[in-house]
Structure formats: C-alpha cells, structure tokens
Chain A
Amino acid sequence: MAGILIVAEVDAGVLRPEYWELATVARAVSASIPGGVSVAVIGADVAAAAQQAAGIGPDTLHVIDDERLANPWPEAHAAALIQLCGELSPQMVLAPRSILGAEIAARLAVRCGWPLLQDVVQIEATPDGGLQAVRPVSGGAVAATVRIGAGPWVVVPRPRAFAPAAASAVAEITPTRHAFAPPPFATACGTPQRVAVQGLSVDRAKIVVAGGGGLGGPEPFTLLREVAALVGGAVGASRVAVDSGWVQSTMQVGLTGKTIAPDLYIAVGISGAIQHLVGCSSSQVIVAVNSDPAAPIFGIANYGVVGDCKEVMTAFRDTLATRAAQAGRAV
C-alpha cells in the first residue's frame, strides 16, 4: 500500500509548476502517513518529465505512458489515475489545481468514494489519523478550517499557497511502468488549439500586470510586458491607458472592460477608480504601485508601493530577471 501519491501533471512535455508545491505538502504530512511518497506520471512520451519528477526523491515512481494520453483528455487521464490508485491503494492523492488536475481529482474522488479537499492553503495531519486543512471560500473573503477522519483522501492544494520543493540531486530511481488498460470511453476529444503565453488574454492569465494613466504613455507597457513574460502572466490596462490609445481595448480591465480574478494582480499607475475596481477586486492578491499615496487602489491592495512607477518596475523586472537567471543555472 502506498502512502501519498502525487499526480505529476505533464503539460506539453514539461511538469506543471504546481508539482514542486505538491512535493512540499507531501513532505509536510508524510511523517503521519505511512507508506512513503509515490509519484504518478501520466501522459504520452513522458520519460523526460518522469526523470524531472524524480528530482524530489520519491520512494516509487509510476508511469503510464500511452498515446491515448497525449491530449489533456480528462476521461482518459482520470481512467489512468483511477487505474493506478486501484493498483497502489494510496492513503492520500495530491493533485494540482490546474484545469486537468482538478478535474481528474474530482473524477477519482467520486468514482472511489473518497473525500475531496479542494483549494487547500494549509494542511496538517491530526493525531487521530485525519486531516485538518484551511481553504478560502466565498471568493477568498472567508477562510474555512475543515477536518476529515481517516483516509483515503484526495487533496488539491491551491497554487502558490505552498513553497515549491527544491529539486534535490537526481535520485537513482527506476520508474515502474504500467500498461494503460482503461474501460471504454464515453467521450472523445480533439487536438488542443494552443495560443502562445504572450498572447494569453487577461481573463485567462493567473497573473496580470496592468498599467494605467500613471504610466504617462505607451512606452512603459514594454516594461510591463517584460515583467509579465518573466512571471508567466498577461498584461492588462485601465480604461485611461486604453482611452489614451496606449494599448488595445482587449486588454482593458474594469466596468467597461473585462472582469477578472487572477491569483495575482499587479496594478501599476492605476489609481483605482471604482469602475476599475469592479473588474479586479476578486483577484487573490493585489499589488499596487502608484506615486499617489492617497490612490484608492491601496484600499484593496495587499501590497503597496508608493513611488515612481517606472523606477519601481524597472528594479522589479531586473530583480526578477536576475533571480530567474540564477534559478536557471541552479537547475
């Protein structure tokens, strides 16, 4: 019997970033859950990803590599996970809260009749062999603490809520390969039509870097695009920036633009008129950079910087770029 099974989702050949956060969760509770930590890598041509996943040093590594798993087809991926769980009988399944990960977690939970803990931001094992977790509800306005008795459980942590585990030196581990033996499929899927990350629209991105009138012109948006590229986000804009012709109207956030709820919203030079707040107030974390300390945007921000937008963002970009380069060397 396996203890913890981490679902390592492979997206376009690479591991999703949440994988390293799941590893942190697994390490935190593994002492209370006997059976060790296993990793499930599901997909097609996932050998490289599996090797990468081995970086956290799991006890066992299970791979289902099958052509039918090439596309993010929920039914097929869920079938593979359910098959693995049947073979491994884990006590806890950790899945990423990505579009595919959250779905196969839900399919697994319902099929096996296991409780599902969604969107967890804190988690610990309780002495009685259960789990206690904190999760935001009502759009993040309220934090609910929940408790569940003995497992097995399916746990889906919130992205960025846990620090990513560092990849240790590549462990020597031989993946266990499982042949994919799914039941007949009831759904069919086509090939995904993907757009470049640069083309990600503001309402799809997890991180949005938005600029407003305080930028003074279209040029600083180049800076914001560079920041967005570094953090994997999209660039948004306030109505003032759109109206001034600095950027396209498809980027507009607010009453007359898009209403978005990203994990992180960085508002640069946006004063935060009520018409703008309508579009962004549901963001998980809001960062405001503005030269006016009285700007209303600070009223809804989690982090604020009062200062010249260009100066602040240039240093912000450079710091991130340096760190990214260091991280790149480290891996």
Chain B
Amino acid sequence: MRAVVCLKQVIDPLTPATSLALDVQDMKIRVRAAAPPVINGFDEQGIEAALRLRETIRELEIVCIAASERFNTDVMKRALAVGADQLILVQDPSLDTWNSYPVAYALAAAIRQIGGADLVLCGRQGSDWDNGLVPYILADLLAMPLLTLAKRVNIADGKRVEIERVLADGSMTMEAALPAIVTVTSELGALRMPSVAARLTAARKQPRQIALADLGAGAPPALAPEVIDLAIPVTGRNCTFIEAADGPGAGVRLAETLLETGAVRLGMER
C-alpha cells in the first residue's frame, strides 16, 4: 500500500514583516535575510498522518512529492528524516507561481508516474497563498474521492479511509473507498521529531529530482488571477490608541471602533 504526501516549500510563515522584501517587478514575495524556507506546516501534518498510519499498516510505503521552481534540499529532507521512504522533487521554473493549477498538474503527473497511490495526503492549504485549491484539482485529475480537514485518519480493511473532519463547533466522521485524497488540519498534531540516526541517514539519501518536462504533465488551464501589486499593509500592527477621558469612556470607544470596522459582529458568530 502506498501513501503519497504532497509537500510545499514555503516562506517561513513566522518571518517578521521587516524581513520581507516585495519584488513588484516579478510580483514575488522574498525574504531579505538568508532565512531558509520551511515545509508548509499543514503538509508536515500530512506526513505525520502517514507515519501514524504506518504504525498499524507496516507495509505502508510513504512517498513525499513536492513541486516548485527550486528547492532547499536540506529543508525538504526533513521528510526523509522523519521516516518517509522516498522524496520526489519536481522542478521547473513555471512552478514559481501562486497559481495552484500548474503545481497540482505536476503533482498529479508525478503520482501517475510512480504508479499511482492508494492514499494521497495534503495539508489543508499552503501558509503562503492560502488558496487551498491543490487537493481539489488533484481529486479531479486523479478521479479520486476527496475528504477534507481531517484531524484523524484511519484505514479500514485496507479498502476504505475514515476520517474525523473538524467543524467550526465540533466534528463529524466521513469515509470513502480507496484510492482517495485526504487533507489534514492542524488539530491532527505536529510532525514528530526525527532521531539523529534517521537524520544522518536521510542526509546521505538523495531525493529523486524530476524535471517537469519528463513527466508529461499536460498544460494546466490559465485560471488564476494575475497579481498586479504587492504591498505590506500600512495599518498592520501600527497600534492605534483609543483615547478617552477615562477607562469606561475608552471601553465604549473601543466597542464602537470594533463594531464600525467590522472586527466584531453581534449575535451572529458561530
């Protein structure tokens, strides 16, 4: 049985705004200091879900696949260090995009090339562009059922996948026949720490590098909007102090301000 975990290499989401540099020529967000990227946190939880499955399904092969313009191999190798059997990196300049379609097409083609998968695990969304679209496109391309936002993943009889899906105010169980795609969410729990022995072994392993051209991925549709400007919001985190004569006055002003800006809506939240 094979589980494929789709990974994305992203800018560290905790990069402070002062370290971000906007390239409005190429419409790219870059990091000023030499801060390395990270594996998208939700995708790491996809690896964790696969590792947990392997605790009961011994023969589960875990293949991690990522598609990007270029990779920081040391960062991506964390997947091998924690226990993935294989890491496949699909590279192509066209993958340096915020458009989900080329990435999903590349991932789907890679999955087909390795002979398919019984289970495809994805993070719920990338922490950079937050599109969360890749799993849906993959489901379409691979013609697999899609179960989303799992905080628990289980495989029953080797034939069906069952998940516990999170809701805003609870959870519900869902299931589908394999092969299927499952997206995981943060409630699943963080990726485990690799042992040093595994890290050293992983350091000696090389990921399989595949050029997109060799996959025959097909041309993705041009469905993404075009980015025409990038800006660091000036309002972001520049504290506006609410001035008032006294404490109660400030409380009233604060309430009015939050209602006006829409930060607070009354009696309508769930």
A–B contact at 8 Å CB threshold (below)? yes
A contact residues vs B (CB 8 Å cutoff)? 11-12, 16-17, 20, 71-75, 98-99, 102-103, 106-107, 109-111, 113-119, 131-133, 136-148, 160-164, 186-197, 200, 203-204, 206-207, 230-233, 263-264, 281-282, 285-289, 298-308, 310-320, 323-324, 327-328
Question: In whole angstroms, how far apart are the Cα atoms of A327 and B268 in the complex?
Answer: 11
When distances are taken between beta carbons in the complex, the residues of chain A under 8 Å from B224 are 115
Interface residue B223 (Cβ < 8 Å from any Cβ of A): yes
B189 CB → nearest A CB, Å: 12
B148 CB → nearest A CB, Å: 6
Question: In whole angstroms, how far apart are the Cα atoms of A72 and B145 in the complex?
Answer: 17
Q: Is the interface of B mostly helix, strand, loop or mixed?
A: mixed
B115 CB → nearest A CB, Å: 22
Question: In whole angstroms, how far apart are the Cα atoms of A102 and B15 in the complex?
Answer: 27
The answer to whether A137 and B270 touch (CB under 8 A), given A110-B140, A118-B132, A119-B130, is: no
Give per-residue flags for B131-142: 1 if the beta carbon is below 8 A from chain A beta carbons, else 0.
111001101100
Pick the contact of B230 from A11, A107, A144, A147 — CB < 8 Å? A144
Question: In whole angstroms, how far apart are the Cα atoms of A119 and B170 in the complex?
Answer: 23
Interface residue B25 (Cβ < 8 Å from any Cβ of A): no
Q: What are the nearest 3 A-B pairs in CB distance?
A: A232-B269, A315-B251, A311-B247
When distances are taken between beta carbons in the complex, the residues of chain B under 8 Å from A319 are 251-252, 255-256
Question: In whole angstroms, how far apart are the Cα atoms of A233 and B263 in the complex?
Answer: 12
Question: In whole angstroms, how far apart are the Cα atoms of A114 and B225 in the complex?
Answer: 11
Question: In whole angstroms, how far apart are the Cα atoms of A195 and B13 in the complex?
Answer: 30
Interface residue B227 (Cβ < 8 Å from any Cβ of A): yes
Tell whether, in the assembled complex, residue B265 and residue A144 are in contact, meaning their CB atoms are under 8 Å apart. no
26 intermolecular pairs with C-beta atoms under 8 Å apart: A17-B270, A106-B132, A106-B136, A107-B136, A111-B140, A138-B11, A144-B98, A146-B226, A187-B146, A188-B174, A188-B175, A188-B176, A189-B174, A196-B169, A207-B264, A282-B13, A285-B261, A286-B237, A302-B239, A303-B240, A311-B251, A314-B248, A314-B251, A315-B252, A318-B252, A327-B266
- A-contacting residues, B230-270, CB 8 Å: 230-233, 235-242, 244, 246-252, 254-259, 261-270
When distances are taken between beta carbons in the complex, the residues of chain A under 8 Å from B231 are 142-143, 145
Tell whether, in the assembled complex, residue A315 and residue B248 are in contact, meaning their CB atoms are under 8 Å apart. yes
Interface residue B177 (Cβ < 8 Å from any Cβ of A): yes
When distances are taken between beta carbons in the complex, the residues of chain A under 8 Å from B223 are 109, 113-116
The answer to whether A190 and B174 touch (CB under 8 A), given A116-B131, A145-B228, is: yes
When distances are taken between beta carbons in the complex, the residues of chain A under 8 Å from B171 are 192-193
Question: In whole angstroms, how far apart are the Cα atoms of A207 and B230 in the complex?
Answer: 27
Interface residue B17 (Cβ < 8 Å from any Cβ of A): yes
Pick the contact of B237 from A16, A192, A302 — CB < 8 Å? A302
Tell whether, in the assembled complex, residue B172 and residue A142 are in contact, meaning their CB atoms are under 8 Å apart. no
Pick the contact of A142 from B29, B146, B165, B254 — CB < 8 Å? B29
Question: In whole angstroms, how far apart are the Cα atoms of A263 and B265 in the complex?
Answer: 12
The answer to whether A141 and B252 touch (CB under 8 A), given A98-B168, A146-B225, is: no
Tell whether, in the assembled complex, residue A137 and residue B172 are in contact, meaning their CB atoms are under 8 Å apart. no
Tell whether, in the assembled complex, residue A110 and residue B137 are in contact, meaning their CB atoms are under 8 Å apart. yes
Tell whether, in the assembled complex, residue B250 and residue A312 are in contact, meaning their CB atoms are under 8 Å apart. yes
Q: How large is the interface on B (under 10, 10 to 19, 20 to 34, 35 or more residues)?
A: 35 or more
Tell whether, in the assembled complex, residue B247 and residue A315 are in contact, meaning their CB atoms are under 8 Å apart. yes
Interface residue B229 (Cβ < 8 Å from any Cβ of A): yes
Tell whether, in the assembled complex, residue A264 and residue B263 are in contact, meaning their CB atoms are under 8 Å apart. yes
Tell whether, in the assembled complex, residue B239 and residue A299 are in contact, meaning their CB atoms are under 8 Å apart. yes
Tell whether, in the assembled complex, residue A190 and residue B172 are in contact, meaning their CB atoms are under 8 Å apart. yes
Interface residue B149 (Cβ < 8 Å from any Cβ of A): yes
When distances are taken between beta carbons in the complex, the residues of chain B under 8 Å from A133 are 225
When distances are taken between beta carbons in the complex, the residues of chain A under 8 Å from B249 are 315
Question: In whole angstroms, how far apart are the Cα atoms of A118 and B128 in the complex?
Answer: 13
Question: In whole angstroms, how far apart are the Cα atoms of A118 and B230 in the complex?
Answer: 16
* Given A111-B140, A113-B221, A146-B225, 16 new contacts (CB under 8 A): A109-B223, A138-B15, A138-B20, A140-B233, A162-B262, A200-B169, A203-B187, A233-B269, A287-B254, A303-B239, A303-B257, A304-B241, A308-B247, A312-B251, A315-B250, A323-B266
Question: In whole angstroms, how far apart are the Cα atoms of A110 and B181 in the complex?
Answer: 15
When distances are taken between beta carbons in the complex, the residues of chain B under 8 Å from A302 are 235-240
Tell whether, in the assembled complex, residue A190 and residue B173 are in contact, meaning their CB atoms are under 8 Å apart. yes
Tell whether, in the assembled complex, residue B247 and residue A307 are in contact, meaning their CB atoms are under 8 Å apart. yes
When distances are taken between beta carbons in the complex, the residues of chain A under 8 Å from B264 are 207, 231, 264, 320
Tell whether, in the assembled complex, residue A138 and residue B266 are in contact, meaning their CB atoms are under 8 Å apart. no
Interface residue B188 (Cβ < 8 Å from any Cβ of A): no
Question: In whole angstroms, how far apart are the Cα atoms of A315 and B252 in the complex?
Answer: 6
When distances are taken between beta carbons in the complex, the residues of chain A under 8 Å from B247 are 307-308, 310-312, 315
Question: In whole angstroms, how far apart are the Cα atoms of A207 and B266 in the complex?
Answer: 12
Give per-residue flags for B6-47: 1 if the beta carbon is below 8 A from chain A beta carbons, else 0.
000001011101001010000001000000000000000000
